[in-house]
Chain A
Amino acid sequence: MAGTASTPKPVAPVSGSDPGPELPMAGQPAVPFVEIEALRTQQFIPAAKEALTDLIAEQGQAKVIRPVFNWAGRNSLFPLHWGLACCAIEFAAAFGARWDAERFGVVPRSSPRQCDLMIVNGTVTWKVAHKLITLYEQMPEPKWVIAMGNCATGGGPFRTAYSVVPGVDKLVPVDVYIAGCPPRPEAMLDGILRLEQLIRDRKE
């Protein structure tokens, strides 16, 4: 099924408004589309289906499908776009141009209903505690929580204060703790990557 590979045309001299030589991508594909489609429907899909059916029959559905979901989930984490205290500055810096957390598929969303990751970035007071729980409950399953910084991890310097929750794990289950006061953006990216490891190894 070798196609008719077109030989590149001789380069014409550029002059005036002449757009120049035609780009190689703009030409006909090396293999005609009809042949690719026929190959896909008649050979590849039946073969893949058969292989997948055999694999599921042998190892069970959960074991085969779960890694696919984990792979998709860990590469498209959507953290809630909010800030509680000074850690939010580092949170913002991590999504800026220099550290660019989006290259790990992490994009902050402004609505908890579109999120699966809550990064608690700052001191949690008792006043804001029930709002935090509300936001957490609005997030669809499956969802994860990262406690960013010493305050969210254990209350930090305000641990015995009259108004501060001594660790956000008193309110919601936490998956990854990031130390620092505040953690640098590199530490935050490290925490996100560790969370991605957790999701990769998720069994259920």
Chain B
Amino acid sequence: MGPEELQQALAPALGDRLLGVEPFAGTAGRVRFRAEGALDLFRAVLALGFTHLSTVGGIDWVDHREVFYIAWSDDRKQYVLLSADLPADAPHIESATPVWPSANWHERETWEFVDITFDHHPDLRHLLMPDGYEFHPLLRSFKLHEPEELEVKTRHV
């Protein structure tokens, strides 16, 4: 399955919310989509046989943020990469947990590290950091703290 096939298969379900499919090494293609069409896209991709959501992640590009999903199809032996650009101010996207339950912890981690909110997530709280941790450490704006400063801010844990 190549980018053209992927485009033809996904276009009916998404319409103009599908921004394009480009070749990406090692995958069936990189699907760029608008955040509003997230849940429809996930369902369409699952219907194509990509049953295993391998990972969810986020990137802070300073002027905007990107959220990406990598899904694997056991039948096709292929990955597919889905990515959407989000505004830098209050980025949020629909949660993929209704389609792929394994998105749960990945989305918690993405929220915790790059501050992308996943709407209708069943349990959006800290995964790797203690409760009450105030930072999103993988943002570009995050500065490494002096140990004493960090200690004061997280003392209540």
B147 contacts A130, C-beta separation under 8 Å: no
Interface majority SS on B: helix, strand, loop or mixed? loop
Could you tell me the distance between the alpha carbons of A126 and B150 in the complex, rounded to whole angstroms? Answer: 10
Residues of A within 8 A of B135 (CB): 162
Could you tell me the distance between the alpha carbons of A127 and B146 in the complex, rounded to whole angstroms? Answer: 18
Residues from 129 to 157 in B contacting A, C-beta threshold 8 Å: 129-130, 133, 135, 137, 142, 144-148, 150-151, 154, 157
Q: Which residue of B128, B137, B145, B148 contacts A127 across the interface (Cβ within 8 Å)?
A: B128
Could you tell me the distance between the alpha carbons of A89 and B128 in the complex, rounded to whole angstroms? Answer: 23
Interface code B110-130, partner A: CB below 8 Å = 1, 0 otherwise?
000000000000000000111
* Chain B nearest Cβ from A159, distance in angstroms: 6
Residues of A within 8 A of B145 (CB): 160, 162
Q: Is A122 an interface residue (CB 8 A)?
A: no
Residues of A within 8 A of B146 (CB): 160
A129 contacts B157, C-beta separation under 8 Å: yes
* Chain A nearest Cβ from B28, distance in angstroms: 35
A162 contacts B150, C-beta separation under 8 Å: yes
Number of interface residues of B (CB under 8 A): 16
Interface code B89-120, partner A: CB below 8 Å = 1, 0 otherwise?
00000000000000000000000000000000
A166 contacts B129, C-beta separation under 8 Å: no
Could you tell me the distance between the alpha carbons of A165 and B157 in the complex, rounded to whole angstroms? Answer: 12
The answer to whether A129 and B147 touch (CB under 8 A), given A162-B137, A162-B142, is no
Residues from 148 to 175 in A contacting B, C-beta threshold 8 Å: 155, 159-163, 165-167, 170
A126 contacts B144, C-beta separation under 8 Å: no
What is the total of A-B residue contacts with beta carbons within 8 Å?
35
Could you tell me the distance between the alpha carbons of A130 and B157 in the complex, rounded to whole angstroms? Answer: 7
Could you tell me the distance between the alpha carbons of A160 and B148 in the complex, rounded to whole angstroms? Answer: 9
A166 contacts B147, C-beta separation under 8 Å: yes
A170 contacts B151, C-beta separation under 8 Å: yes
Residues of B within 8 A of A162 (CB): 135, 137, 142, 144-145, 150
Q: Which residue of B128, B129, B147 contacts A160 across the interface (Cβ within 8 Å)?
A: B147
* Chain A nearest Cβ from B109, distance in angstroms: 12
Could you tell me the distance between the alpha carbons of A80 and B116 in the complex, rounded to whole angstroms? Answer: 40
A127 contacts B130, C-beta separation under 8 Å: yes
Residues of A within 8 A of B137 (CB): 162-163
Residues of A within 8 A of B148 (CB): 166
Q: Report the nearest A residue to B127, measured CB to CB.
A: A127
Q: Which one of B144, B146, B150 has the greatest number of beta carbons of chain A within 10 Å?
A: B150
A129 contacts B130, C-beta separation under 8 Å: yes
* Chain A nearest Cβ from B88, distance in angstroms: 20
Q: Taking beta carbons and an 8 Å cutoff, which residues of B are in contact with A?
A: 128-130, 133, 135, 137, 142, 144-148, 150-151, 154, 157
Since A126-B130, A163-B128, A166-B151 are in contact, a sample of 4 more A-B pairs with Cβ atoms closer than 8 Å, ordered by chain A residue number, is: A161-B144, A162-B135, A162-B144, A165-B151
